[in-house]
Amino acid sequence: MFFRYDHEARRMHRRYWKTADRRAADRVKLDRLAREIPAVVPGAAVAADQPYREEDLAIDFAEDVPRLSDEDIARIVAMFEAAGAVAKVSSIHVNGWFGDFDKLSMTRRAMAEFFDRDIDAVRDDIVFAGDSPNDAPMFGFFPNAVGVANVRDFAGRLPAEPTWITQGRGAAGFQELAEALLAARE
């Protein structure tokens, strides 16, 4: 899913991977998991930003709750997968959804639909920044992929690694990248 506001037309464009009916059916299953996972995995919680998510369920394991063990995180992933969902670990959440899409497939669609760009033709011109395993498809596709330092927490467990890693973690790493890009323009 992605949104883009068209200032000229004064209209928000929304694109979804699935139909409205399919999203509604999947939401029923995700809502069930939102009740079941915290009941089975002590300390896990539905993410605070869940009301703003349309296609996934985010289970918090380190943002607003004390960090859970790797074993508990694996249990959350297993519960999503047992329900037939895709599950990806980020630095703070396990995100689960139904469907065969990821950040790269939606980025590919956004670039084609909104920017009339073939992502394969411009991939060398794009810098992607991420911080966790759910960014691996982007790390593997973009030669100029940057991971903020906390991506090192997943060393050896990513299907694709970023080309560069910042010194700073989280927002400090993103700031470091932004400053490097601005300095390179001068």
27 and 92 both lie in a single domain: yes
**77 within domain boundaries:** yes
With H, G, I as helix, E, B as strand and everything else as coil, classify residue 148. coil
Supply the pLDDT for residue 4. 86
28 and 86 both lie in a single domain: yes
**Backbone φ, ψ for residue 127 (5° rounding):** -105, 125
- Say if residues 144 and 163 touch (Cβ distance below 8 Å): yes
**107 within domain boundaries:** no
Supply the pLDDT for residue 30. 98
With H, G, I as helix, E, B as strand and everything else as coil, classify residue 92. coil
Question: What does the radius of gyration of the chain's CA atoms come to, in whole angstroms?
Answer: 18
- First-to-final CA distance of the chain: 35
**120 within domain boundaries:** no
Which residues on neighbouring strands pair with residue 15, listed in sequence order? 2
Q: Which region holds residue 10: left if phi is over 0, alpha if psi is between -120 and 50, else beta?
A: left
131 and 69 both lie in a single domain: no
Supply the pLDDT for residue 1. 77
Supply the pLDDT for residue 134. 87
Supply the pLDDT for residue 21. 96
- Full domain range(s) for residue 142: 126-185
Supply the pLDDT for residue 16. 87
Residue segments in the chain with a per-residue pLDDT below the cut of 50: none
71 and 27 both lie in a single domain: yes
**24 within domain boundaries:** yes
Supply the pLDDT for residue 24. 96
Supply the pLDDT for residue 2. 82
**2 within domain boundaries:** no
67 and 135 both lie in a single domain: no
Q: How many CB atoms lie within 10 A of CB 106?
A: 16
Q: How many CB atoms lie within 10 A of CB 137?
A: 19
CATH number, domain of 43, equals 3.90.1070.10
**76 within domain boundaries:** yes
Supply the pLDDT for residue 130. 95
CA distances from 117 to 6, 25, 121 (A): 17, 33, 8
25 and 63 both lie in a single domain: yes
**142 within domain boundaries:** yes
Supply the pLDDT for residue 102. 87
Residue in 72, 140, 66, 69 with CA at minimum distance from that of residue 103:
140
Supply the pLDDT for residue 125. 96
26 and 91 both lie in a single domain: yes
What total of structural domains would you count in the chain? 2
Supply the pLDDT for residue 91. 86
Supply the pLDDT for residue 7. 95
